[in-house]
Structure formats: structure tokens, C-alpha cells
Amino acid sequence: MNPGRTRPRLEVVAGGISGALEELSDDQLMLLLERQERSFEVLVRRHQPLVLAYATRFLGDRDLAREITQEVFLTLWAERRTYSPQGKFRSYLLTLAVNRCRSLGRRRQVARRQQPLLQSGAAQLNSALPIDELLDAERASLVQARLQAIEEPYREVLLLRFCGAMSYQEMASVTGRPEGTLKSLVSRGLKHLWSSLPRELRA
């Protein structure tokens, strides 16, 4: 590693990464960070989509989500010496993401920029797409808008459960809430989300 560098590159270029590193577990890669900076590139490439997807859905703002994602991985790099390998790297990473999203949510106090789905998505939709694809895109946008409207605890657990595909045990590790509480929040969150959708989307 170049001694003059204070932090690693966050932009990972596809290809050129040793196949040997790709075979290692997340914990093994973390233990290599001090000696092999390219292991960080593997971690970013492996987990950046999950963190970005979570932050985007939580905040409803792609640009802010990119900033949060960058902060998460810079924090990961800064804390590399204190990381304790326990086979729970993904939970550790999402804990960083959840804490930053919570903090930003508090500072902005629901002042997140919420762009109506049809407006924000219309410019990106190709009018030549099949009607089914257009309808699917509209439905996804509407669900995202409704997700932004429900209270933060419900949004947080729904995203961890369905976007992060986490077990309740993993969610408990990330949020600090008991599994029973999380199950209740997921159930109530789904009801809130479901009831907010137009009747035609509930079929």
C-alpha cells in the first residue's frame, strides 16, 4: 500500500482483481486490509449494491444514498484495525448504513426530498417499452413513494427484511431490537404499506 494514501479508492473498476481475493470470505478480506488494499476493492464491489439499495429506499434520494454509501465504506476502512471477525460482516456493514440513515433522517426531520414517482421516472421511461413494463415501473415507483410515507421504524425493518434479505436474528444484531419486536414491526409495517396502496395494486 502506498504510505502516502490516507484512504482507499471507492470507485471499483470491473476486472483486474485477483481471483484469489475473490475466493476469500468477507472476514478474511477484512483481515488482509492492512497488507492488501485490493481486498477493500473486493469488499466494495461485493457489498456496495446492497448498501446503496438500502440507503436509496430508506432516504428516497439517490444522491444522498450515494453519499451515505461512501461514508459507510470510508468508515469501514477507518475501523479496519478494530474489526472483529465473527462471520457477521454483512450485519456489521448494514449497521453502519442504518445508523447513518437514522442520523440523516433526524437532522432532516422528514425533510427528505420526495419526488413523485411518475414525475421522477417519466423522463427515464422509454415510451417504446411494452405496456406491461411501463405498468410495472409505475407500480414500483408508487410502492417506493408509499414506503417513504410510512414511519421510519417500519420503513427501516421492512428494508432490512426484504431489501437486505436479513433474518430476524441478523436484524436484531443490526437494530438492537428484540426479535419479537422486529416481527411485530414488520407485520405492522406491511399492513401500513398495504393499506396505503390503491386498491388495484393490492390484487
pTM metric for this prediction: 0.64
Question: Residue 26 — very low, low, confident or very high, per pLDDT cuts 50/70/90?
Answer: very high
Q: Amino acid identity, residue 46? A: R
Structural domains of the chain, count: 3
Question: Residue 104 — very low, low, confident or very high, per pLDDT cuts 50/70/90?
Answer: confident
Give yes or no: residues 18 and 106 share one domain.
yes
Give yes or no: residues 67 and 95 share one domain.
yes
CA-wise closest residue to 189 among 142, 146, 138, 139: 146
Question: Residue 34 — very low, low, confident or very high, per pLDDT cuts 50/70/90?
Answer: confident
Alpha carbon distance 63, 115 (integer Å) = 13
Domain boundary among 110, 139, 172: 110
Is position 4 within any domain? no
With beta carbons less than 8 A apart as the criterion, state whether 144 and 117 touch. Answer: yes
Q: What percent of the chain has pLDDT over 90?
A: 23
Range of the domain at 35: 14-110
CATH number at residue 170: 1.10.10.10
